Each structure stands twice: as C-alpha cells, then as structure tokens.
Amino acid sequence: MQWTSAPNIGEAPLPQRARGYWKARFSAAGEGLEKLLEAERAQLPPWVVVGLGSGIAAWFALDRPSQWQAFLCLGAALALIGFSIRSGRAGRALGWFALAAAIGCALVWARSTLVEQPRLRRAAVTQFAGNVEMVEHLASREKVRLTVDPTTPGLPPHVRVSVDEDKAPPGIAPGAQVEMRARLAPPPPMALPGTYDFARDAWFWGIGAVGKPLGPVTVVRPGQPHGLDGVREALRQHIENRLPASPAGIAVALATGDQNAVDQDDADAMRRAGLTHLLSVSGLHIAAVVAFAMFLSLKLLALSEQLALRFNLVLVSAGVAAAAGIGYTLLTGAQVPTVRSCVAALLILAGIALGRDALSMRLIAAGALIVLIFRPEALAGPSFQMSFAAVTSIVALHSTRWARRLLQRRDEGIVARTGRALLGIIATGLVVEIALAPMALFHFHRAGLYGTFANIIAIPLTTFVIMPTEAAALALDLVGCGKPMWWACGASIDGLLRLAHTVSSTSGAVALMPSMPTWAFGLMMAGGVWLCLWNTRLRLLGLVPFAIGAVAAALAPSPDLLVTGDGMHLAVVDHGTPLLLRDRAGDYVRSLVAEASGFDGDPQDLGSRPYSSCSNDACVAMIRKGSVEWRLLATRSAYPIDWPTLTAACANADIVVSDRRLPRGCTPRWLKLDPPALRRTGGLAIYLGSPPRVDSVADRVGRHPWGQFAFSSGGSGLRGVPGSAPGAGRSAAPHTGG
C-alpha cells in the first residue's frame, strides 16, 4: 500500500509562495533604498540641477528634433511615474530628476530658437558699412577682431571680421562707423570631427558671417569706448604701457578677463603646464578680490571705535566684499566661470553675515542653476564644465571624513602646521587634475601631467603676489608713484612664465589623445558627478562608469586619415605622426591636424615618405593597415589633369580626395571625396580598420540649427558608398601632369 503525505493545512500553493517571496524581497529593497536616501537627504536637491544639465546635454548629444521630442516624452512619463507611485522619497527623487531633465532639454531647444538670427548662406565679396559693436585685440595672432552691425541691406545683423593689427586704422572702438570691402562667409563648423565647433557658439552669439577685409578699413566716424568697455580698454592700454609685452598680456588677462592679449607661446606653455585656469578669471581670482576687499574694509572700519561699537562690521565688510566681487565680475566681462564664482562668493558672504557655513554642494548647485537658466548653451563648452568640475571636486574632497580628519586645523607646531597645509594643497591639486583631465582630453585632446606640482607654486604666486601687486600698482598710479609696484608685478609674472615654460618643456609633460568617444566622456562625467554628490559609500558606485569610460577612451583608435571640409588639407596618420599633403600649410592647419591626431609636435610632409609618390599636382600613397594596403590619390593643385590619366588613376585608387570637382568618370573603389561630397559631410576622420568607418562633422552636428546652414543634408552623405575591399600590392604611382 502506497502512502502519500497530506498537505499542510493553510500552506499556500507554490506560485503564490513565490509571489510572496519576491514581494517581500522587493519590499525589503525598497525599505533599504528609502533608508539610504534618508541618510543622503541633504544631497538630493543638487541632483535636480544635475537633471537639468542632463536634459541640456541630451539635446546637444541627440541628432534631430524627433529624438528631442522623444526625450521630452520620456522625461515627462518618468516624472509622472515617479510622482504617482507610492515609493516615498525614491519616487519623488525620480520624478523631480526626470522633470528637470525634460525642462533642461526644452529650455535649450527654446533658447536655440529664440537666438536665431539671419545667416549668410554662401561666401561672397561685398562692400558694406556698419557700426562697430566690439573690438578684441588678439595679441597672439597680431589681429584686431571687430564685431560689426552692418547698415548695408542684405547682410546679417552681426558680422565678425579680423583685421591685421598693423592695418587697423585709428579710431577703431565700439560705436565707430566703418566701411570696408571684405570677403564674408557663413560661420564655419568644426574643421574635423571632435575639434572646436565655432558655428555652434556663433549661433548662440548671433553672429551671422565672418570674414576678412580686402583692403583698408575706412573709419567714417571714430568711436569712443564707453561704460565698462571704456574702462576695460583704458586698463588694457594703461597696463601695456607699464609692462613689457609678455607680462603685460598676463596682467591684462587678470585685470580685464581678456585672454586674447596673451602671447601665443606663453598661452601654449601655460596650457601644457596645467596653468591655463590662472588666465581665466574664475574662483581663484574672485576669491582673492573678495577676501582682500573684506579684509581691508574690516581692518579700516575697526580703526574707528564708534563704528566698531555701533555696527556689525563683519556684515558691513561682507557688503563691501560683495560689491567688489560684482564689480570685478562685470569688469572682466561676466564670463561663465566668473558668474559662477561670483554667485558662490555672494552665497558664502551671506553665510558669513548670518553666522553660517555656506560652502557646500548646494552652493555650487545654486551657481550652476543660475547659469543654466539664462545660458543653457554654456553647458556644452569647456569653460563651464572645467570650472564647475574643479570647484565641485574640491568641495567633495574636503567633505570626506579622511580630509576633515587630516586637514582640519589643530594646536600644533609651525612645522606640522606647514606640512599639513602643504599636504592639503597637493591633495587638492591632484583631485582637481584628475577631475579636469577627461575634459581637457575631450575638448583639447591634451592634458598636462605636471599641473599639480606647478600649481603648488603658481596659485600662491598669483593669489598673494601678482594680483595684489598689480592692484597696488594701478591704485598708486592715481598719485603717480606706481612704478616700483609695476616692477614687482612684472618680475612676479616673469617668474610665473618661467615656471610654465620649464614645466611645459619637460619630457612627458602632456598626455595626448586623438579622439574620445562621446559616450565614453559621458560615462566619465556621470561617474564623476556620482562620486562628488553622495556622502556615504554609495558614492563608490561612481567608480564603475568612470572606469568604463576611461578604458573606452584609452582604447579608442586613432584616425588613419584626416580630411578638412574644403578638401584642400589632408593628413595621413602614420603611427601617430600626421603627414600633411601640403607642406606649406599654415600654422592653424598644422596645429589643428596635430590636435586631431593626438600628436605633440609639428606635422611632417607626406611626400617625404617612401610609400608615397608626389608631384606638384597630386600625391599617391599606400596606407598599410594590418594586412591590407589602401591606395590614396589626392590632388594638390588647381591645374587640369589629363582626362585619361585622371580616370585611370581614380580607378586604380581606393580613396580619392580633391579640393576641385572631380568628373563622374573618376570612380575609386571605395571613397570619393570632392567638394560636392564634402559639402554634405564636412571634415572627416577615416578609420581603415576592419571594417573601415568614416566619422564626419555632419554626423557630429546632426540636425542642430547651426548645422543646417553648413550642410546640405542632415547626414554624412556617405551611406551607400561602395564597400568593395581594397586590393593590395599596387605601388606604382600614375603619372600626373599639368
């Protein structure tokens, strides 16, 4: 007889027990998340600003309006889900973040529409008159850049022209009326994928054309700088009359925020040494001005016994320091880092006046919120990113238990106190360098490796010597006795420049990277924000996306071929060294190609290599990638080439590049790049891997409004290119003649 066990009375069936098990697990996970967010509740408000920035970044990263609309719908849906589900703090956090992201995307989209101005459609030579709006002296390029409001019909409302410094007539100042004959063109897009996109900035600045005069510039009515422009121009001239050219450029940048006055060699040395932030008026400079104004006013007011007894001198001094900070911000042009630093300084002063410590992530978030509301496009620029990354990383470091325990002041000897302060400076410098390195590599393709150690000397030198002596010299010039202070200021700036040149010339001073994938950069930024904004061990999860992005960036391949959007300049990248098609290319093209290929030096000549054969009219080169050889044909003159010779050379080539329109009979095996094709693609970075791929400026820009004026289509125009594999073993160069 077979016995079976009777079921336990009251026991639920298996599926029901499984559902109960998972329900309990989800409930426990939800409770754990609530406890975690409760512990981090003070850090939740800054994430709303991060959500706003994420929406703005998504608008720049996505290609077309349909994708922007989808992002808005997704943000709205997540916000509704977050606010409607009963998940407590976690649901509300999701709702606010998603809502802020949707608002950020809509905000920058609306901003791009509101700032739209007429643009020149094609290059033209024209005679026009207009009123000068802005004058910028580019000492490093020996140019004077004018922003003109044309009065001649048919031109955009804002035109920028560059005049050689020795040809700039007297009387050029804001408000002047000028006449000139100039060649004008639409604002150019990025020359190569991943380089600076001037067309984007020009769109938000309202500049509709750029160009250069073809002859003299006639001043019909001289202008006179007025207001803050007049003060800045007077300061620039006064400083240049007191100091030699090289230190004068640094002094002008510190006093007026105009970095254009800095000599090009000095600017390159400062960049390679990791000291460029000293030239951009930001937190360091605002802090020095505010601290000096508060210290001086507090000491002077305390000399009066009646004032000290009747008034809160700390509150009065905070007001004086706030006025000084606002004035310095306006004087230096109210750039993004300066505005952020000024807002932070004002909040700190308010905290001091109220007897509270205002230095926190909320303060940084407030500054970012103000900037993003009024200028959301600033998020895409390196100035905003590097400025906020630096100050956020500093606050995050000093909020950790390790830093508070190690760096807080205590009763100890002078040696220990000095060593502790030095350790704090080194730790802060290292953290800032790590935070800024991804942005420097993404935007500029290079990052200084010795910046931490250079800044240990440069920051105190700038804060406590250069800026005070320059301010004292300007003040003493009012009574005619500022010469000694000018000597001290010039000597200290010379010391700073010697430091920059010494560090920049050291072997291995710069890390180079040709191109970083945008998604890898985004992962590193997301991981960095996560690391900085949380206080508990939850912050360590940010190391995962940061590490993934860093590895992806380090493993990203270098381009094998670079082609500018006009087809005139081409570079073959041979083991990291760019080889230029035209050995007489200008400094701008040479630096552009070196930057895009991650090369620290001057590009070389393609015709000097044994695997190339060049004449005055064309070059043929064999590019080996692995086991495959690619045959490149590129023209480099405007002289006609015999039809049978040209068509035969094209048929025997895998890639053909020309700055002239090629006939239909020119049919290479893989890729044909002439002006009609390049007008659709813009500049190109070509990777001859397996499979080969092409990265174009048009694909980078997408359907953003400034790209629609530069490209005749929204895509690269390369889809459907014949993909037959290149042959190997062909080395004979065809004869090309005039």
Query: 3-state secondary structure string, 111-172?
Result: HHHHCCCCCCCCCEEEEEEEEEEEEEEECCCCEEEEEEEECCCCCCCCEEEEEEHHHCCCCC
Q: Please report which residue ranges of 477-603 form alpha helices under DSSP H.
A: 483-504, 518-533, 543-555, 587-596
pLDDT at 140: 67
pLDDT at 224: 75
pLDDT at 27: 63
pLDDT (tens digit per residue) in 216-243:
999 998 877 677 777 777 888 888 888 9
pLDDT score of 300 more than 80: yes
pLDDT score of 8 more than 60: no
Confidence of residue 337 (pLDDT cuts 50, 70, 90): low
pLDDT at 711: 67
Alpha carbon 173 to chain centroid, angstroms: 29
129 with 178: CB under 8 angstroms?
A: yes
675 with 661: CB under 8 angstroms?
A: yes
pLDDT score of 553 more than 70: yes
Give the integer Cα–Cα distance in Å for 192 and 196. Answer: 8
- State the average pLDDT over residues 456-464: 84
pLDDT at 480: 83
- State the average pLDDT over residues 380-405: 84
Confidence of residue 258 (pLDDT cuts 50, 70, 90): confident
pLDDT at 160: 95
Strands 209-213 and 446-448: unpaired
pLDDT (tens digit per residue) in 26-40:
666 667 677 777 777
Q: Which residue has the higher pLDDT, 268 or 527?
A: 527
Q: In the predicted model, what is the mean pLDDT of the chain?
A: 83
Strands 612-614 and 604-605: unpaired
Supply the DSSP string of 470-487, one letter for each residue. HHHHHHHGGGT--HHHHH
What's 434's DSSP letter? H
The three-point CA angle 301-303-308 to 5° equals 60
pLDDT at 23: 61
- State the average pLDDT over residues 19-31: 63
pTM: 0.83
Strands 124-138 and 143-150: antiparallel
Phi/psi at 90 (5° precision) = -65, -45
**For the chain, percent of residues with pLDDT exceeding 70:** 88
pLDDT at 22: 59
**For the chain, percent of residues with pLDDT exceeding 90:** 31
pLDDT at 427: 82
pLDDT (tens digit per residue) in 587-635:
888 888 988 888 888 899 988 888 888 888 889 999 988 888 999 999 9
Nearest to 573 by CA among 607, 613, 623: 623
Nearest to 654 by CA among 679, 678, 636, 673: 673
pLDDT at 625: 86
Right CATH for 124-224 from 3.30.390.10, 1.10.10.10, 2.40.50.140, 1.20.1250.20: 2.40.50.140
Q: What is the SS3 assignment for 570?
A: strand
648 with 734: CB under 8 angstroms?
A: yes
pLDDT score of 723 more than 80: no
The structure tokens 């800026």 sit at 467
Which residues are bridge partners to 395 per DSSP?
A: none
Q: State both tokens at 719.
A: 């889809």
Report how far apart, in Å, the C-alpha atoms of 584 and of each of 173, 589, 605, 635 are: 35, 10, 9, 15
Confidence of residue 720 (pLDDT cuts 50, 70, 90): very low
pLDDT at 507: 76
- State the average pLDDT over residues 103-132: 93
65-84 and 44-61 helices cross at what angle (nearest 10)? 160
Nearest to 397 by CA among 525, 539, 281: 539
